[in-house]
Amino acid sequence: MKAFILAAGNGTRLRPLTNTVPKCMAPICGVPLLAIWLEWCRTYGISEVLVNVHAHAGEVIRFLCGDFGVTVTISYEHALLGSAGTLYANREFIENEKQFAILYADVLTNCAFDRMLEFHCASRSRATLGLYTVPNPRECGIARIDDTGRVIDFVEKPESPSGNLAFSGIMIATPAILQFLTGEVPSDIGTHLLPLLVNQMHGYLIRDYLIDIGSKNKYARAQREWPGLNFACSAASRTD
């Protein structure tokens, strides 16, 4: 299985740390976030990843020259393409795959991907969104699901949220979603792609540890809370 690890962001909300350290390599208890993701991929049988780079690109590229047990393809973006723009620019990477993963590098999680993949295969949807509950739905991409888990509404940062189930930054997709990508840049998965997949994708509720470390407060919190990649048992349920 293949995966995109979206890691090109500037990390402006984490400054001054990201003035010198790439956001995707911010250390969590001494371990670069990107290293945690690569170990997670290796453990769950994701054998090949494409990592897009932009901010502090040279440092990220040098880091990715190490041996992580997965094959790494690097896609350098001179100008940021946006998350959906990266998928479109590198569509050949996954066009022959049965399914692939999309992973936001600024998310820290030990979620059990094998369970999510099993759910995705059973649903036979074009995509499965990892969802988690948040206290701040106006700041997130919010999904509404029916009794079967089908996503019946998705709005990025809604003014009047219909609930508190947010897109986690973890997604399983089939190449069928490529037809919804236009190549316009910059374009965003939450804003430009997911609303077009309403009623054609399912939501999977992640109950394991998961936090978006996009802010300084959440980054500090992650240092205190991170339980590590414990694959032997499920982590305690957490919310952002």
Parallel/antiparallel/unpaired status of strands 31-32 and 210-212: unpaired
What are the φ and ψ backbone dihedral angles of 47, each rounded to 5 degrees? -90, -15
Per-residue pLDDT tens over the stretch 187-225: 999 999 999 999 999 999 999 999 998 888 999 999 999
Per-residue pLDDT tens over the stretch 113-150: 999 999 999 999 999 999 999 999 999 999 999 999 99
Q: What is the domain-level CATH number for residue 65?
A: 3.90.550.10
In whole angstroms, give the CA distance from residue 195 to residue 197: 5
Residue 239 lies in a domain: no
One DSSP character per residue, 166-208 reads: EEEEEEEE-GGGGGG----SS--IIIIIGGGGTTSEEEEE--S
Q: Which residues are CB-neighbours of 9 under 8 A, at least 6 positions away?
A: 23, 24, 54, 55, 80, 105, 106
According to the model, what pLDDT value does residue 231 have? 62
Domains: count for the chain:
1
CB atoms within 10 A of CB 82: 21
Residue 240 lies in a domain: no
Residue 236 lies in a domain: no
According to the model, what pLDDT value does residue 204 have? 98
Max distance between CA atoms of the chain, in angstroms, equals 47
74 is in which domain, residue-wise?
2-225
> Which has more pLDDT, 10 or 173?
173
In whole angstroms, give the CA distance from residue 173 to residue 121: 10
In whole angstroms, give the CA distance from residue 187 to residue 189: 7
Residues belonging to the chain: 240
Residue 158 lies in a domain: yes
Residue 238 lies in a domain: no
Per-residue pLDDT tens over the stretch 44-90: 999 999 999 998 999 999 999 999 999 999 999 999 999 999 999 99
